[in-house]
A and B are shown apart, each in its own frame.
Chain A
Amino acid sequence: MPARLSLNAISKHYGPESQQVTALNEVSLSLEEGEFLAIQGPSGSGKSTLLNICGLIDHPSSGDYHLNGIAVAQLNEQQRCTHRRQMIGFIFQRHQLIPAMTVYENIAYPLLLNNISAKNTRYEVEQILTTLDLMQRRKHLPRQLSGGERQRVGIARALIKRPQLVIADEPSASLDHQHTHTGLQLMRELNQAFGASFLIASHDPFVIDHCDRRISLLDGRMDDRA
């Protein structure tokens, strides 16, 4: 059984050669099926860049990346899109809810993309709305929600389709302790029931403690002191 993902000497450079910024410098790591991995590091250390590459929304400048044993470099844009749709759940740092969709529609959207029936969608969405304390909010638009509510909707949207890989960029930034706890619990359930793997960038000790393993980034390099 291949690792959920394995990165080998992944680098990412930005800008022209003369004034190049190296966001990631030969990062190697692997994430097993069902593993929770926390990524720590100060701001600007390359956490988001790493998550974007793992989530197939950015390309590394060099290095190998295998997702479920598939060489990602071989995938074309359309295949990357399909993998994101079927395998990956994103929790974005700034929520990134679709402004014209209600809470219900935002959460149901990944199921729609994966052709889940309306009846099943309804059942799944209502269940997760209840768990995350959002039932009263289901007909609201994102701009009518608080920051914490938006983040919970973002978490629900990422988990609803039961992805094999969840990528979360500072998921607890706008959550109180209680909701962070509920969120983590949901993730753990998904993890135990379906073997989902988690890649979580966070500063929150509560979140980090919850993970199986942690790595640290500093200036785009793995920091072995952690």
Chain B
Amino acid sequence: MNWPLIAIRNILRDGTRVISTLLIIATGLTALLLGSGFMLSTYDSLQEMGMRTEGHLIIIDDNPAPLRGGSHQQLTLDNWQAIQTSLWNDERVLRVLPRAHFEGLIVNSNNSAVFFASGVDPQEEFRVHGPFLRTTDVLDPWIDPSKNQDVVLGVQLARTLNAVTGDLLTLKIMGSDGEVNQIAVRLAGTYQNGTPEIDDHTLMVSLTTAARLLGTNNISQLSIYLNQSQNAPALQAELQKSLNNVSVQSWQQRSELYHKVKSLYDRIFGVMGLIILVVVFLAITNTVSLATYQRREEIATLSALGTRPVRIYTNFILEAFLIGITATILGMLFAYTASHAINLSELMMPPPPGKTEGYPIFIYISWPHYLLISLVLITVVIGASLLATYNTTKINIATALA
């Protein structure tokens, strides 16, 4: 007996029910695929941002002095040039960027503001951030620190100070012994990240300028950028072994934003996915129960002829499976088409937590991920059918045939 063919005949016999069932499953799958495709692309861009901001690996002093006030406490990594030089010889390493973090007050004739600064390598720093740190009109002399003591400000900080490119500004910090050090700098441009903490309060100067102001060549961290992200864990382990008195961390260990946003989105998408699965489950239970009720005479006949309940059960599940497969293919096609349409339309998302700017919606299409989610959905469909048909094989034959 060709059971699949008989299942197909049964499916075709009940057109409206089948179409509504197909649409329920396909729509559910489309929503799941679009939602998770969006989630994956969001995680990817968050990772990208985390890596570009922090570097794949970060070397810090393994025993930073306890916080005491003043800014020198952040500058604990000495002898970093030696580490930097040795890392340059590793072919996995693309860039090694020193960063010296300090804080103080920035002053011009109109205004003053608290700043959080990084002393950086002026040639290399802006090359690693990509779209996550957009610079505006940064003057060329910025990259030649011997001539000028330049500063680049977060775009909002520049606005707060009412400062324009070329203006002279004063950076003041509290030295470790309590006296105030200051240095005059020229505004060479601004940058923008979209995060208020960065755009409103941060600035960058060259490492040379920072050293002059701080009175030390120590830095806070070395950020290591790799050619390929997948080399990070191995290199992290090697460096941790070979270097003394430092701690080698990955960007994940340092990036709080990534973890916060990811856990928020995990929950949102998790709940959304669960709701869709529950809705599909209930809808299928409902339609399959109705269908089996309408077919109780046929079930009773099969049973009267001596068909084992398992066989009857299997036939119903086979029908559910075939409907599930068809709906899944439909749903994948819907999702695939919709993803392309959305990606091409450049729709914008509202700003995520902690950001002032939205970002373009991008939806990933990956077949393993399509298959996995479809499998989950088909399992739900079959589970619902199992539940809905479970009792039908126990009907009273005589009553059903009466």
Give the Cβ gap from B400 to chain A, nearest Cβ, in Å: 9
Q: Which of B300-317 contact A (CB under 8 A)?
A: 300-309
Residues of B within 8 A of A94 (CB): 401
Residues in A neighbouring B401, C-beta threshold 8 A: 52, 57, 92, 94, 96
> What residues of chain A lie closer than 8 Å to B307, measured between beta carbons?
81, 85, 113
Complex contact A84–B305 (CB within 8 A): yes
Question: How many residues of chain B have a CB within 8 Å of chain A?
Answer: 23
In the complex, the answer to whether A90 meets B6 with C-beta atoms within 8 Å is no
What 0/1 pattern do residues 75 to 101 of A give for CB contact below 8 A with B? 000100111111010101010111111
Q: Distance in Å from the Cβ of A23 to the closest Cβ of chain B?
A: 10
Chain B interface mostly: helix
A212 interface residue (CB < 8 Å to B): no
Q: B372 near A: Cβ within 8 Å?
A: no
| B1 and A109 form a contact (CB under 8 A) | yes
Report whether A99 and B398 are in contact in the complex, using a CB–CB cutoff of 8 Å: no
Contact B9 A100 (CB under 8 A): yes
CB-CB < 8 A to A67: which residues of B? Answer: none
User: Which chain A residue lies CB-closest to B7?
Assistant: A100
Q: Does B48 contact A (CB under 8 A)?
A: no
Q: Which of B6, B304, B307, B402 has the most chain A CB atoms closer than 10 A to its own CB?
A: B304
Bitwise, B290-302 to A at CB < 8 A (1) or not (0) is 0000000110111
Tell me if B301 and A96 are in contact (CB < 8 A). yes
Q: Measured between alpha carbons, how far is A85 from B301 in the docked complex, in Å?
A: 12
**Which one of A49, A52, A110, A141 lies within 8 Å of B305 (CB-CB)?**
A110
Give Cα A63 to B289, complex, Å.
36
- Name the residue on B nearest A94 (C-beta): B401
Q: A105 and B1: CB pair below 8 A?
A: yes
| B143 within 8 Å of A (CB atoms) | no
Does chain B have a CB within 8 A of A58? yes
Distance in angstroms between the alpha carbons of A71 and B54 in the assembled complex:
83
The reply to whether A52 and B306 contact each other, CB–CB distance below 8 Å, is no
Q: Could you tell me the distance between the alpha carbons of A105 and B5 in the complex, rounded to whole angstroms?
A: 11
Chain B residues, CB < 8 A from A83: 306
Question: A48 at interface (Cβ–Cβ under 8 A)?
Answer: yes
Q: How far is the CB of A95 from chain B (nearest CB, A)?
A: 9
B301 near A84: Cβ-Cβ < 8 Å: no
With A92-B301, A96-B297, A99-B13 as given contacts, are A81 and B397 in contact (CB-CB < 8 Å)?
no
Q: Is A86 in contact with B306, judged by CB distance below 8 angstroms?
A: yes
A90 touching B13 by the CB < 8 A rule? no
Structural contact, A112 and B1, CB atoms closer than 8 A: yes
Are A58 and B6 within 8 A (Cβ)?
no
Contact B306 A98 (CB under 8 A): no
Residue of B nearest to A12 (CB): B398
Q: Which residue of A lies closest to B295 (CB)?
A: A99
**Which of A48, A85, A90, A99 interacts with B298 by CB under 8 Å?**
A99
Contact between chains at B398 and A109 (CB < 8 Å):
no
Report whether B9 and A141 are in contact in the complex, using a CB–CB cutoff of 8 Å.
Answer: yes
A108 close to chain B: CB less than 8 A: yes
Instruction: Give Cα A49 to B397, complex, Å.
Output: 12
A55 within 8 A of B: yes
Nearest-neighbour CB distance to chain A for B393, whole angstroms, equals: 10
Q: Are B304 and A100 in contact (CB under 8 A)?
A: no
Task: Tell me whether B181 is interfacial, beta carbon within 8 Å.
Answer: no
Closest Cβ neighbor of B315 among chain A residues: A100
Question: Do the beta carbons of A101 and B398 come within 8 Å of each other?
Answer: no
Q: How far is the CA of A57 from the CA of B401 in the complex (A)?
A: 10
Do the beta carbons of A57 and B304 come within 8 Å of each other? yes
B-contacting residues, A16-65, CB 8 Å: 48-49, 52, 55, 57-58
CA of A57 to CA of B302, assembled, Å: 11
* B residues apposed to A, CB below 8 Å: 1, 6-7, 9-10, 13, 297-298, 300-309, 396-398, 401-402
Question: 7 tightest A-B contacts by CB?
Answer: A85-B306, A58-B398, A100-B9, A57-B397, A84-B306, A96-B301, A52-B398
A interface residues with partner B (beta carbon < 8 Å): 48-49, 52, 55, 57-58, 78, 81-86, 88, 90, 92, 94, 96-101, 105, 108-110, 112-113, 141, 157
8 A-B residue pairs with CB within 8 Å: A83-B306, A84-B306, A88-B306, A90-B305, A99-B13, A100-B6, A108-B1, A110-B305
Beyond the given pairs A55-B304, A57-B397, 15 more chain A to chain B contacts, judged by CB atoms under 8 angstroms and listed by A's residue number, are A48-B402, A57-B303, A81-B306, A81-B309, A84-B304, A85-B305, A85-B307, A92-B304, A96-B304, A99-B10, A100-B10, A109-B305, A110-B306, A113-B307, A141-B9
